[in-house]
């Protein structure tokens, strides 16, 4: 039987802050979920260094050849589903480069990447900023945005693109072009000039270009485009969901970055917030070309331990967002202890590459303590591979970053990406990319 190790009482019974911030769709039912640390109860985690046959992994070779592939397959089968192999040839179109973007601080370019490998087929638009005057090639931050490339900055040169959305009133999908007023809507999450000034390129694509984020969105997205029968596809229990589709798209963005001479594709930090943090963690687990992975408030189905009875649950996420994961994941709605993997093993799949997990004090729905514990319990894998982890067993105070190859902080505030978060990520990237 697979060996399990017990979570220490000291780590489980710490007290969280009292403020509760919930997503809008869950707030009305907040009484159904636990926010009392003393009621979490005991639980056990699968040991990332013990194989299904009971073999204890003792060296890097055994991890690489036996245990890592085993854990990866478990996540594919039971959580995210199976993504297809990448297409043989990268098909893309380059937009015009503007070397005077952001008052001359950067060169901006938009690149259409055809995800089905067909010119004129299903595509995503990658928005790329490269700092002017930097010694090239430069490292980069790559991330997916929520509502369109044009929302990350007020730059009028960014194209506003049409997106498939769900009309709840008419109960149908609609192709909508956002209006000009949405330009720069999410500028607070993307401090472009700060990142560029530190010598990093910034690359982003909107999630809807890859797959619209609603239950029927896949019919207008990547999964239908790659299926032989398109919108008539009948998904198998371990077929990929939207999170895996978004992650697959991020890997195709990296395919493109590998073709450029001004970006160092071997120093790309993959970053994601909330549901897109889940996608970044999974993309980083499947695609080892990503040099660093950053999870910002990714919560359930991301960096938070599923077995902890705190905040959002497996049942809740599968009910609210049935399209995010594979069908098999729903088997664990009522018995999460039967799930053969947990989030600490997802983080361990990124080893020995640097990984940063961040939480927000008021974001109880995402279980900040559970995110810390995942990072902590991935540490044995990092140590086996000769890397330092968090360097502490205690959940750190707010606004106190910790860790070496595994980084972590919990900051004051709500479920968001802030300047404080970016300051930590830039410092972490500097330490690992600019030695």
Six token digits for residue 116: 């089905």
Confirm whether 344 is a catalytic residue: no
Q: What is the DSSP letter of 57?
A: P
Do the Cβ atoms of 4 and 46 come closer than 8 Å? yes
Contacts (Cβ under 8 Å, ≥6 apart) of 368:
16, 359, 360, 361, 410
CB atoms within 10 A of CB 32: 9
Confirm whether 274 is a catalytic residue: yes
Q: Are strands 123-131 and 201-206 parallel, antiparallel or unpaired?
A: antiparallel
Q: Are strands 355-360 and 292-296 parallel, antiparallel or unpaired?
A: parallel
Active-site residue identified among 274, 280, 359, 374: 274
Q: Are strands 123-131 and 106-114 parallel, antiparallel or unpaired?
A: antiparallel
DSSP codes, 363-393:
-GGG-HHHHHHHHHHTHHHHHHTT------S
C-alpha distances (whole Å) from 391 to each of 142, 379, 405, 406, 426 are 27, 9, 10, 9, 20
Do the Cβ atoms of 57 and 380 come closer than 8 Å? no
Q: Are strands 172-176 and 163-167 parallel, antiparallel or unpaired?
A: antiparallel
Measuring CA to CA, which residue among 370, 369, 366 is closest to residue 312?
A: 366
Angle at 123 between CA 290 and CA 182, to 5 degrees: 90
Active-site residue identified among 122, 344, 415, 432: 415
* DSSP-derived 3-state class of residue 400: coil
| Alpha helices, DSSP H, located in 50-190 | 60-62, 68-75, 101-104
| Alpha helices, DSSP H, located in 161-231 | 192-197, 207-210, 222-226
DSSP codes, 141-206:
EEEEESS-GGGS---TTSPP--EEEEETTTTEEEEE---GGGTTTTGGG--HHHHHHTT-EEEEEE
Q: How far apart are CA 158 and CA 153, in angstroms?
A: 8
Q: Are strands 44-46 and 4-6 parallel, antiparallel or unpaired?
A: antiparallel
* DSSP-derived 3-state class of residue 206: strand
Q: How far apart are CA 380 and CA 77, in angstroms?
A: 24
Which is it for the CA torsion 48, 50, 51, 56, positive or negative?
A: positive
Query: Which residues are tagged catalytic?
Result: 274, 415
């Amino acid at each position: 039987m697979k060996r399990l190790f017990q979570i220490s009482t000291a780590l489980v019974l710490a007290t969280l802050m009292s403020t509760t911030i919930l997503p809008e769709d869950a707030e009305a039912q907040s009484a159904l979920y636990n926010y009392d640390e003393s009621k979490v109860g005991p639980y056990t985690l699968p040991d990332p260094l013990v194989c299904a046959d009971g073999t204890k992994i003792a060296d890097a070779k055994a991890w690489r050849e036996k245990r890592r592939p085993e854990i990866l397959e478990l996540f594919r089968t039971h959580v995210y589903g199976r993504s297809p192999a990448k297409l043989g040839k990268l098909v893309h179109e380059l937009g015009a480069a503007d070397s005077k973007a952001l008052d001359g601080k950067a060169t901006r370019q938009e690149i259409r990447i055809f995800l089905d490998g067909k010119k004129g087929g299903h595509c995503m638009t990658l928005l790329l900023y490269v700092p002017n005057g930097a010694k090239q090639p430069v490292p980069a931050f790559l991330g997916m945005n929520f509502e369109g490339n044009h929302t990350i900055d007020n730059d009028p040169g960014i194209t506003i693109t049409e997106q498939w959305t769900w009309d709840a009133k008419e109960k149908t999908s609609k192709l909508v072009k956002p209006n000009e007023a949405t330009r720069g809507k999410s500028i607070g999450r993307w401090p472009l000039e700060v990142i560029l000034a530190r010598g990093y390129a910034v690359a982003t694509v909107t999630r809807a270009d890859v797959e619209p984020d609603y239950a029927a969105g896949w019919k207008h997205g990547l999964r239908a485009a790659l299926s032989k029968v398109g919108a008539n596809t009948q998904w198998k229990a371990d077929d990929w969901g939207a999170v895996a589709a978004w992650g697959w798209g991020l890997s195709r963005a990296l395919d493109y970055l590998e073709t450029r001479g001004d970006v160092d594709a071997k120093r790309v930090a993959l970053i994601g917030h909330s549901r897109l943090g889940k996608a970044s963690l999974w993309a980083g687990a499947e695609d080892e070309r990503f040099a660093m992975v950053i999870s910002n408030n990714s919560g359930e189905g991301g960096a938070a331990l599923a077995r902890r009875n705190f905040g959002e649950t497996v049942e809740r996420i599968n009910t609210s967002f049935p399209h995010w994961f594979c069908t098999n994941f729903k088997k664990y709605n009522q018995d999460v202890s039967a799930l053969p993997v947990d989030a600490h093993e997802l983080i361990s799949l990124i080893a020995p590459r640097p990984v940063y997990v961040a939480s927000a004090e008021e974001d109880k729905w995402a279980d900040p303590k559970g995110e810390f514990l995942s990072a902590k319990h991935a540490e044995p894998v990092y140590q086996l591979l000769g890397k330092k982890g968090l360097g502490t067993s205690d959940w750190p105070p707010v606004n106190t970053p910790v860790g070496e190859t595994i980084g972590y902080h919990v900051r004051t505030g709500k479920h968001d990406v802030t300047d404080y978060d970016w300051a930590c990520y830039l410092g972490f990237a500097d330490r690992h990319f600019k030695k």
